[in-house]
């Protein structure tokens, strides 16, 4: 049942290239130039009328929604807010019939997300669910569903569900951009082509991940560490931090790289591990200067970046894990994978129950 893998989590990490292909299949037209989402009831007229988008989810699905916000805002220039479902409901969010609410849920049964969906509908919003379970309560109650086709996810720590949620956001963002005419056809084609390369790029990464295992064994005896990044790198940092916490029980915090010096830098001391995501060219220099700030305080830094930055970064960091080149918006679909493996191997090194971490359940049906 675990397909030769020691744990469901490792199996599911390795299923991600397939999940990417399955989630994209049939949703890109034969010319490779357009996204088609025939399942959507949302009309072009409704899309043209959208004034704001609210993405609502919990945990890992919320982190996918943070990337989704960047994707939609950059591609479509519609204002997007991403909220944790248990907060969203109680802040009386401003929802109108021109609001599109996107709920994201692997299981489709998360109580807070379901309640947020119902509330948004009651306020007249159109609700789109991105879910991995088509027969779920959330899929049934939503006006529209984009199914992620990751297959059943058994490990409590979500991996392939998260990355296929990212693929769903890329597809939906491109679809909105086409309908609203906010991207040139060339730009759309370029993104689609880069998306189609992701599965193979990921396969290559999974074959060459031994250094992550060694690094995980090195951090396994630490009690605190930090993840830093900017833009979508910060969104991925938050997911990396959650993954590590839930299965290795190592305390970590994800910080926007530029925010450290406003307080948290006080916690950086000799030998503390810091994992820096450095994939966004537009803020590369700024992130490097934040890395130098922590390096100067003696942090032990591991950077996740592109091959062409490795040699310069090695002047300020201790280790580097290189990811294949892709477009800036698409990097989360690759850069999160070393963090999933890091959490996995750190959990293993600590002798924890990887697939069934203490205190946690796969589906959270209480509010
Ligand atoms: C983390 C994890 C949880 C879930 C969260 C939402 O690895 O699995 O944070 O992401 O409980 O669950 P779904 O997506 O089923 O709504």
Report the alpha-carbon distance of residue 234 to residue 304 in Å, rounded.
Answer: 12
Q: Is residue 367 predicted with pLDDT exceeding 90?
A: no
Report the alpha-carbon distance of residue 335 to residue 331 in Å, rounded.
Answer: 6
pLDDT of residue 358: 86
> Which atom belonging to ligand 1 lies closest to the Cα atom of 113?
16
Cβ atoms of 89 and 118 closer than 8 Å:
no
What's the CA-to-centroid distance between 241 and ligand 1, angstroms?
A: 14
Does the C-beta of 107 come closer than 6 Å to ligand 1?
yes
Does the C-beta of 110 come closer than 6 Å to ligand 1?
yes
Cβ atoms of 80 and 241 closer than 8 Å:
no
**Interval 117-144: pLDDT, tens:** 999 999 999 999 999 999 999 999 999 9
Does the C-beta of 59 come closer than 6 Å to ligand 1?
yes
| Residue identifier of the C-alpha nearest atom 16 of ligand 1 | 105
pLDDT of residue 365: 85
What number of H helices and E strands is found in the chain?
14, 10
Q: Is residue 104 predicted with pLDDT exceeding 90?
A: yes
Report the alpha-carbon distance of residue 39 to residue 41 in Å, rounded.
Answer: 7
> Which of 110, 131, 145, 236 has most ligand 1 atoms within 8 Å of its beta carbon, as the pocket-test mutant?
110
Q: Is residue 362 predicted with pLDDT exceeding 90?
A: no
Give which of 74, 17, 16, 34 is closest to 235, Cα–Cα: 74
Average pLDDT of the residues of the chain: 96
Q: Is residue 212 predicted with pLDDT exceeding 90?
A: yes
Q: Please report which confidence band the pLDDT of residue 12 belongs to, taking 50, 70 and 90 as the band edges.
A: very high
What's the CA-to-centroid distance between 90 and ligand 1, angstroms?
A: 20
Give which of 194, 280, 231 is closest to 69, Cα–Cα: 231
Say what the ipTM of the complex is. Answer: 0.99
| Residue identifier of the C-alpha nearest atom 9 of ligand 1 | 59
pLDDT of residue 206: 97
> Which atom belonging to ligand 1 lies closest to the Cα atom of 63?
10
> Which atom belonging to ligand 1 lies closest to the Cα atom of 363?
15
| Residue identifier of the C-alpha nearest atom 10 of ligand 1 | 60
Report the b/e string of 125-143 with b at 16+ CB within 10 A.
bbbbbbbbbeebbbbebbb
pLDDT of residue 361: 86
What's the CA-to-centroid distance between 312 and ligand 1, angstroms?
A: 37
pLDDT of residue 250: 97
What's the CA-to-centroid distance between 185 and ligand 1, angstroms?
A: 35
Q: Please report which confidence band the pLDDT of residue 16 belongs to, taking 50, 70 and 90 as the band edges.
A: very high
Q: Which residues on adjacent β-strands are paired with residue 129?
A: 103, 145
Q: Please report which confidence band the pLDDT of residue 239 belongs to, taking 50, 70 and 90 as the band edges.
A: very high
Report the alpha-carbon distance of residue 58 to residue 366 in Å, rounded.
Answer: 12
Q: Is residue 215 predicted with pLDDT exceeding 90?
A: yes
What's the CA-to-centroid distance between 158 and ligand 1, angstroms?
A: 6
pLDDT of residue 42: 97
Does the C-beta of 300 come closer than 6 Å to ligand 1?
no
**Interval 342-356: pLDDT, tens:** 999 999 999 999 898
What's the CA-to-centroid distance between 61 and ligand 1, angstroms?
A: 6
**Interval 265-302: pLDDT, tens:** 999 999 999 999 999 999 999 999 999 999 999 999 99
> Which of 13, 57, 60, 66 has most ligand 1 atoms within 8 Å of its beta carbon, as the pocket-test mutant?
60
Q: Is residue 341 predicted with pLDDT exceeding 90?
A: yes
pLDDT of residue 50: 98
Q: Which residues on adjacent β-strands are paired with residue 156?
A: none
CA angle, residues 126, 158, 342, in degrees to nearest 5? 140
| Residue identifier of the C-alpha nearest atom 5 of ligand 1 | 59
């Amino acid at each position: 049942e675990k397909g030769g893998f020691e744990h469901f989590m490792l199996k599911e990490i390795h299923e991600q290239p397939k999940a990417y292909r399955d989630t994209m299949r049939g949703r890109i037209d034969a010319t490779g130039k357009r996204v088609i989402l025939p399942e959507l009831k949302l009309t072009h007229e409704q899309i043209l009328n959208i004034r704001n988008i609210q993405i609502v989810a919990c945990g890992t699905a919320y982190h996918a929604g943070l990337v989704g916000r960047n994707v939609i805002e950059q591609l479509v220039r519609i204002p997007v807010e991403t909220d944790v479902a248990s907060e969203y409901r109680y802040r009386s969010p401003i929802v109108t019939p021109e609001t599109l609410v996107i709920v994201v849920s692997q299981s489709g049964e998360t109580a807070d997300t379901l309640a947020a969906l119902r509330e948004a509908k009651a306020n007249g919003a159109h609700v789109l669910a991105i879910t991995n379970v088509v027969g779920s309560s959330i899929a049934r109650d939503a006006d529209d569903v984009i199914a992620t086709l990751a297959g059943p996810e058994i490990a409590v720590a979500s991996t392939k569900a998260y990355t296929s949620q990212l693929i769903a956001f890329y597809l939906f963002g491109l679809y909105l951009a086409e309908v609203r005419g906010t991207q040139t056809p060339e730009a759309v084609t370029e993104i689609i082509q880069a998306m189609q390369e992701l599965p193979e790029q990921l396969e290559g990464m999974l074959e060459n991940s031994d250094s992550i295992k060694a690094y995980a064994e090195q951090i396994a005896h630490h009690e605190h560490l930090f993840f830093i990044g900017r833009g979508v790198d910060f969104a991925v940092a938050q997911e990396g931090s959650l993954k590590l916490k839930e299965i290795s029980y190592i305390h970590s915090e994800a910080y926007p790289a530029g925010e450290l010096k406003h307080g948290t830098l006080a916690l950086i001391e000799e030998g503390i591990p810091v994992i820096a995501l450095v994939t966004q060219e537009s803020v590369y220099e700024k992130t490097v200067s934040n890395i130098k700030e922590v390096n100067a305080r003696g942090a032990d830094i591991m950077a996740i970046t592109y091959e062409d930055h490795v040699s310069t970064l090695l002047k300020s960091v201790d280790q580097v894990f290189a990811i294949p080149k892709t477009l800036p918006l698409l990097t989360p679909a690759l850069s999160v994978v070393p963090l999933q493996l890091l959490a996995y191997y750190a959990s293993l090194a600590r002798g924890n129950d990887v697939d069934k971490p203490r205190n946690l359940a796969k589906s959270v049906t209480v509010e």
